[in-house]
């Protein structure tokens, strides 16, 4: 398998009023294409920060980040936007859908930013919503959908352009246990279909769904375990 | 994102906040209404001034002596009359007259002058004749009436041979002037004209402090003004002691005044438009703050800085253009009826006013929408996503 992500000595510091927070403190990490990796750690361990760095939502203070062999730490804002649009997909704990537009329009947004033709964009968005089982709720606004349905819309939006990497930050955090299991099954299936997934969670049971588990503490990777066996969702 | 999509998105976003969008536009509506209405008033006034000037004799020149201690003589008039650029020259003095005819008393302007006055001022007699050299020579009690004076005294203009009393001296009417367009400084229709020599005899009028001149042709008008300037300066050695007015000068004076008037009135309206621009900026800044998370989501999905910038800029422009067009529509509906109430002023909107108002409102949208849009576009995705 080829290397999708390579982090070399990544540091991320935040300046507070009279002290510096070291959110990431020299992280080295490699993730291969097709891997299902969970990043786990307590609050403040740096797990969300590393996801933001990998997702090009934030920039590093120091170090190099290679995505598909390209050092994205040195790219322009415009190029980073292109990467987020075409190579990455995000699923957040609070869904992050736009409330004033329908589920279909939310999914179509990614295509619109890719300057895709409206007709083609609509077809692909409908297809993505069908895949997550929401063909009957396409024209509903997020406020008219349940939490699980909103998260499915978020998945449809994340998978819209067939991204190389799906980043999921506590995707089941706001869901009941039944819906959480459905979402996790969806992640496993996506991974089986070849999508590389990084799942950030503080819940060990959820982290165990992944084939690789990275534990973080105080901005450092303290454990990196790979498992051979199939994922199990109880 | 394609521009059409961005515009659609801007409309959708503004529509979702209808009341706020309308109230923000209201400032622009009032601003554009002020600009358009005030420019209409200015244009209308300038148009009326130009219309009255355009029908005046363009060869006419006036000399006014300002200093009461100096005066021109009949020798000066004779000398000026010999100049090749001058076709007619007449001295005149403006006075005030108490007129009486039967039960009617009038107080009006009276001109003491010579027989060349009608040519110098381009006047035409409707009934009878103008003053002749013989009237001047024999100091006859003859008077020529402006048409309105004739109507006021007799209610008609067939009044030749009638007698009226001017400052308690009887005068015989020898002519009534045709109606003439009122000038910027006088209205001949409301005046009486008698021989200067008669006025000297009865009313003790002396000296010459005004001259009416007709240049030989329109082209020589400027040269005549220059000649008069040289002549009068040589005589009085003080250029402050006299004024020379030609219609060309009056035209350029009006042009200057028009510009000032347009800038002033447009400026007053412009200030309210600028205030409305501050309102747009304020609301757009609030909007950026409220929608910080949305901006973060859009950036996470792949929106570039340019996409966010254009989205917010288009929203500001839509607000201002909507306000601008509504303001123009409102002016269109209101201006003319108001003009009619204000004594038949033509306050119709000109293309220039519509263009200026529309461009100004567009400018307000761009200028005041730019800062919030730039601010929105520069948000860092992760910080925007964390915003509550």
What residue ranges define each of the domains in chain A, with the CATH number in brackets?
A: 35-56+77-226 (3.40.50.300)
Q: Residue B4's pLDDT is what? A: 83
- CA–CA separation, A190 vs A197, rounded Å? 8
Specify whether B73 is located in the same domain as B190: yes
Q: Best residue in B291, B298, B300 to probe A by mutation, most A CBs within 10 Å? A: B300
CB–CB contact A112 B2 (8 Å): yes
Specify whether B357 is located in the same domain as B379: yes
Q: Which residue has the tokens 């929203």?
A: B315
Tell me which of B216, B243, B276 is where a domain ends.
Answer: B216
Specify whether B171 is located in the same domain as B260: no
- Is residue B242 one of the residues assigned to a domain? no
- Is residue B351 one of the residues assigned to a domain? yes
CB–CB contact A98 B301 (8 Å): no
Domain enclosing residue B161, as ranges: 60-216
Specify whether B379 is located in the same domain as B311: yes
- CA–CA separation, B293 vs A153, rounded Å? 18
Tell me which of B169, B193, B216 is where a domain ends.
Answer: B216
Tell me which of B159, B189, B216 is where a domain ends.
Answer: B216
Specify whether B210 is located in the same domain as B73: yes
- Is residue B244 one of the residues assigned to a domain? no
Question: Torsions phi, psi of B288, nearest 5?
Answer: -60, -45
ipTM (interface pTM): 0.92
Specify whether B64 is located in the same domain as B27: no
Six token digits for residue B223: 């040269």
Specify whether B209 is located in the same domain as B68: yes
Instruction: Tell me whether residue B107 is exposed, middle or buried, using C-beta atoms within 10 angstroms of its C-beta: 0 to 12, 13 to 18, 19 or more.
Output: exposed
Specify whether B176 is located in the same domain as B258: no
Predicted confidence (pLDDT) at residue B184 exceeds the cutoff of 70: no
Specify whether B179 is located in the same domain as B127: yes
**What percent helix, strand, coil does chain B show, rounded to 5?**
60, 20, 20
The alpha-helical segments, DSSP class H, found in chain A are: 47-54, 77-86, 103-113, 118-131, 147-158, 177-192, 204-207
H-helix or E-strand containing B312?
helix B305-341
Instruction: Tell me whether residue B190 is exposed, middle or buried, using C-beta atoms within 10 angstroms of its C-beta: 0 to 12, 13 to 18, 19 or more.
Output: middle
Residue among A59, A85, A112 whose CB faces B5 most closely: A112
- Is residue B149 one of the residues assigned to a domain? yes
Specify whether B74 is located in the same domain as B206: yes
Mean pLDDT, chain B, whole residue set: 87
Helix (H, G, I), strand (E, B) or coil at B107: strand
Specify whether B316 is located in the same domain as B360: yes
CB–CB contact A90 B300 (8 Å): yes
Q: Best residue in A54, A75, A77, A166 to probe B by mutation, most B CBs within 10 Å? A: A77
DSSP conformational letter for B190? G
CB–CB contact A77 B304 (8 Å): yes
Q: Residue A30's pLDDT is what? A: 94
How many domains are contained in chain B? Answer: 2
pLDDT, tens digit, for every residue of B71-105? 888 888 888 888 888 889 999 999 999 999 888 89
- Is residue B22 one of the residues assigned to a domain? yes
- CA–CA separation, B357 vs A114, rounded Å? 37
Asked whether the beta carbons of B1 and B303 are under 8 A apart, the reply is yes
Predicted confidence (pLDDT) at residue B69 exceeds the cutoff of 90: no
Specify whether B91 is located in the same domain as B194: yes
Predicted confidence (pLDDT) at residue A231 exceeds the cutoff of 70: no
pLDDT, tens digit, for every residue of A133-164? 888 899 999 999 998 899 999 999 998 888 99
Q: Which residue of A has its CA nearest to B300?
A: A84
Q: Which residue of A has its CA nearest to B294?
A: A98
Interface of B with A (CB under 8 A): 1-2, 5, 12-13, 16, 293-294, 296-307, 380-382, 385
Instruction: Tell me whether residue A82 is exposed, middle or buried, using C-beta atoms within 10 angstroms of its C-beta: 0 to 12, 13 to 18, 19 or more.
Output: middle
- Is residue B230 one of the residues assigned to a domain? no
- Is residue B211 one of the residues assigned to a domain? yes
- CA–CA separation, B304 vs B298, rounded Å? 9
CA B234 remoteness from chain centre: 35
In Å, how far are B15, B70, B94, B241 from B67, measured between CA atoms?
70, 6, 15, 5
- Is residue B228 one of the residues assigned to a domain? no
């Amino acid at each position: 398998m080829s290397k999708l992500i390579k982090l070399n000595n990544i540091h991320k510091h935040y300046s507070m009023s009279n002290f510096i927070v070291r959110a990431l403190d020299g992280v080295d990490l490699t993730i291969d294409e097709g891997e299902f990796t969970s990043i786990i750690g307590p609050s403040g361990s740096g797990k969300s920060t590393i996801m933001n760095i990998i997702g090009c939502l934030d920039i590093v203070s120091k170090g190099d980040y290679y995505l598909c062999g390209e050092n994205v730490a040195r790219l322009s804002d415009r190029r980073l936007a292109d990467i987020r649009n075409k190579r990455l997909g995000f699923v957040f704990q609070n869904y992050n859908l736009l409330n004033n537009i329908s589920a279909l329009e939310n999914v179509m947004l990614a295509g619109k930013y890719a300057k895709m033709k409206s007709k083609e964009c609509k077809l692909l968005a409908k297809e993505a919503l069908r895949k997550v089982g929401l063909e009957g709720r396409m024209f509903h606004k997020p406020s008219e959908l349940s939490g699980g349905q909103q998260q499915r819309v978020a998945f449809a939006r994340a998978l819209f352009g067939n991204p190389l990497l799906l980043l999921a930050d506590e995707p089941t955090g706001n869901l009941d246990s039944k819906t959480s299991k459905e979402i996790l099954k969806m992640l496993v299936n996506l991974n089986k279909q070849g999508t590389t997934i990084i799942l950030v969670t503080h819940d060990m049971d959820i982290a165990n769904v992944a084939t690789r588990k990275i534990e973080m503490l105080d901005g450092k990777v303290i454990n990196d375990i790979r498992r051979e066996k199939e994922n199990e969702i109880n | 994102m394609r521009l059409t999509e961005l515009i659609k998105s801007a409309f959708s976003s503004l529509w979702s906040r209808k009341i706020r969008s309308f109230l923000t536009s209201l400032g622009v509506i009032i601003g554009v209404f002020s600009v358009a209405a005030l420019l209409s008033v200015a244009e209308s006034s300038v148009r009326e001034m130009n219309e009255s000037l355009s029908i005046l004799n363009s060869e006419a020149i006036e000399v006014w002596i300002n200093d009461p201690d100096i005066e021109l003589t009949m020798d000066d008039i004779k000398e000026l009359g010999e100049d090749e650029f001058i076709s007619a020259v007449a001295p005149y003095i403006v006075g005030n007259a108490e007129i009486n005819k039967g039960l009617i008393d009038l107080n009006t302007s009276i001109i003491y002058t010579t027989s060349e006055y009608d040519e110098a001022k381009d006047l035409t007699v409707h009934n009878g004749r103008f003053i002749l050299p013989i009237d001047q020579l024999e100091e006859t009690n003859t008077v020529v009436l402006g048409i309105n004076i004739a109507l006021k005294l007799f209610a008609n203009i067939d009044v030749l041979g009638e007698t009226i009393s001017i400052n308690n001296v009887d005068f015989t009417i020898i002519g009534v002037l045709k109606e003439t367009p009122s000038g910027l400084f006088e209205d001949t229709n409301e005046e009486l004209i008698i021989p200067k020599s008669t006025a000297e005899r009865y009313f003790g009028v002396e000296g010459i402090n005004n001259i009416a001149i007709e240049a030989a042709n329109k082209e020589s008008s400027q040269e005549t003004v220059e000649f008069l300037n040289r002549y009068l300066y040589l005589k009085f050695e003080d250029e402050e002691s006299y004024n020379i007015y030609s219609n060309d000068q009056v035209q350029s004076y009006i042009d200057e005044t028009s510009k000032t008037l347009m800038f002033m009135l447009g400026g007053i309206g412009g200030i309210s438009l600028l205030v409305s621009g501050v309102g747009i900026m304020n609301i757009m800044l609030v909007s950026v703050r409220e929608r910080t998370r949305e901006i973060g989501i859009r950036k996470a999905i792949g929106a570039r800085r340019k996409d966010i910038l254009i989205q917010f800029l288009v929203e500001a422009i839509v607000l201002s253009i909507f306000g601008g067009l509504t303001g123009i529509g409102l002016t269109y509906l209101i201006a003319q009826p108001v003009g009619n109430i204000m004594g038949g002023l033509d306050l119709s909107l000109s293309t220039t006013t519509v263009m200026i108002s529309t461009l100004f409102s567009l400018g307000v949208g761009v200028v005041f929408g730019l800062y919030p849009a730039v601010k929105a576009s520069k948000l860092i995705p992760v910080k925007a996503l964390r915003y509550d």
